[in-house]
A and B are shown apart, each in its own frame.
Chain A
Amino acid sequence: MSAPLLELEAVTRSFGGIRAVDGVSMRLNEGEVVGLIGPNGAGKTTLVNVITGVHTATSGRVRFRGEDVTAQRPFQAARRGLCRTFQIVQPFPEMTVLDNVAAGAMFGGRIDAIGAAREAAREHLEFVGLAPLSDKPASALTLAARKRLELAKSLAMKPKVLMLDEVNAGLNSAEIDGALELIRKIAARGVTILLIEHLMKVVLSVTERVLVLHHGALIAEGEPHAMVRDEKVIEAYLGEKYAKRYREAAGV
């Protein structure tokens, strides 16, 4: 097997007595689309925060292209191409949509001149379908559009690994289909994607491999369709009692 693009070695992150991420080891290979699922509070967002330098791992190592990046700061992660979107969108509210994306192109994507950054931003806005709203302030967008803006901003940063933290949360089904289409297009560009998602429809249709997190620990890993039938996974989501009833009802 070739060297992984991103590799986590026994990463733990504690907050006081709580281990939000507990000894997680995982790897992402170049060009893969991997799902990261788990019940609320499983530590998915914390894991992304550790990878992008928002939190530093209490113990363990994060390696990107073989380089130890455990202690990096968020802006360094961004410049390396470890980009993410936020579950709760984080725009620059008073800037135009165009300048929001230009900020990504300029600082994360390392385009020095404002003019050139805006040019690049236009392309990304075209790609996510927000071009007609370029000159609106970011605060004027709907939630679905803001999620697209987050995507455009991350794409402008020339991501090597794109971590999508619930980009579909709060969207209606037509909007989800649109977002799904976008994720496929981004994957087709060769960007490695780590998709944090609650919607099984999305996970099953775009990912090649799924990691399941529960109480901060990785409890299962494998092919998506197998994962949703995995007993440990069902138990994690539904609880032991319901998992048993579910098994009985399914006649297993």
Chain B
Amino acid sequence: MMSRLGLALFAGWVVILATTPLFAENYIVRTAIMIAMYSALALSWNIIGGFTGYPSFATVAFFGVGCYVGGIAQRAGVPMALAWAIATVAVGAMAAALGAIILRLKGHYFAIGSIAIVEVCRLVISSWRSVTGGGDGLNVPLLRWHPDAVAQFFLLVMIGIMLAAFVMNALVDRHRLGFGLKCIRQNEDAADMVGVDTTRYKIVGFTLSALLCGTVGAAYASWVGYIDPTDSFQILMTVKVPVMALMGGAGTVLGPALGAAAFVILEEIFWANFLEWNRAILGAIIVALIFFLPGGLLNISWRRAARRLRGRESAEAPA
């Protein structure tokens, strides 16, 4: 459940992101687009990884296939918005079909299976030269507007997708679907025993977690104007997204958005200031996160942290 304060802060944050073109330079606007995009991906991941507790690394498969379906549709003359819709539906259908297979796996096995999906998609796309251009990549028709207007437009598009992902999370959280998914996360056998159709619920959850990744991918392809298999199926992206969600608080509605924002900003700071060490620093942050913040930023009990600090002081004091 969200607090009213959390919701208000989120609304304020969305307004700040949306208005960056009015007061900030291009670099900041670009960062805002990345934040909105990663928030949408992390919020999507949250349905399967957070609520359901299935550690999926398939995000980038959905993103990449979304890139290509959208890009190919646009090259075939389909209007941009329709191409995005087609990508969304195609990715959703793909997730439902694949989900029925790999959701039979659990835990680590599921994680590995989901990585295999990424690899298979990447290989199919790079080998299917006649349709996808293979390793040469594809040019996607660009918007012939002023660059600033293009950036503003895609900022609003990404924010729109992020809000859609947010609303999806909030609805799932309140609906019996979310309740059932949380039951599955805590004890799948017991969920089955109380009458949750676990197979169907997991497939629905997996499909929901894929849909908007497809939209994001297609919009990304239209934004950058050129896609190739290495860029569309970066294994790093598939790791980043769960880390973002975990950083903010997986299984909460606001956590993934918070985590995505924090992660993208940190990443930008480290890129700018520690050109050679930034990956190492990010790695250290991930390790520290797992050790000290297993529940994410949103789940810190500040009061307990304060009490623990005080307790340590009194323990150190001579008796």
Contact = CB atoms under 8 A, between A and B. Distances in A.
B194 A78 contact: yes
Contact of B193 (A52, A93, A114): A52
A95 B198 CA distance: 18
Interface stretch (B66-74, B173-181, B216-224): B173-181
Contact of B194 (A73, A107, A114): A107
Interface stretch (A84-92, A166-174, A232-240): A84-92
Given A95-B186, A103-B183, A112 B192 contact: no
B198 A93 contact: no
Contact of B192 (A75, A86, A93, A153): A75
A94 interface: yes
A216 interface: no
Q: Which bracket fits the contact residues of A?
A: 20 to 34
B190 interface: yes
A222 interface: no
B190 A91 contact: yes
Contacts, number: 71
A157 interface: yes
Interface string B163-202: 0000000000011100110110011011111111110000
A104 B190 CA distance: 10
B190 A114 contact: no
A112 B176 CA distance: 7
Contacts of B175: 114
**By CB atoms of chain A within 10 A, which of B176, B179, B182, B194 has the most?**
B194
Interface of A: 52, 54, 73-75, 78-79, 84, 86, 90-95, 99, 102-104, 106-110, 112-114, 153, 157
Interface of B: 174-176, 179-180, 182-183, 186-187, 189-198
23 contacts: A74-B193, A75-B192, A75-B194, A75-B196, A79-B195, A84-B193, A90-B190, A92-B182, A92-B186, A93-B187, A95-B183, A95-B186, A99-B179, A103-B196, A104-B194, A106-B179, A107-B191, A107-B194, A112-B176, A114-B175, A114-B179, A153-B194, A157-B194
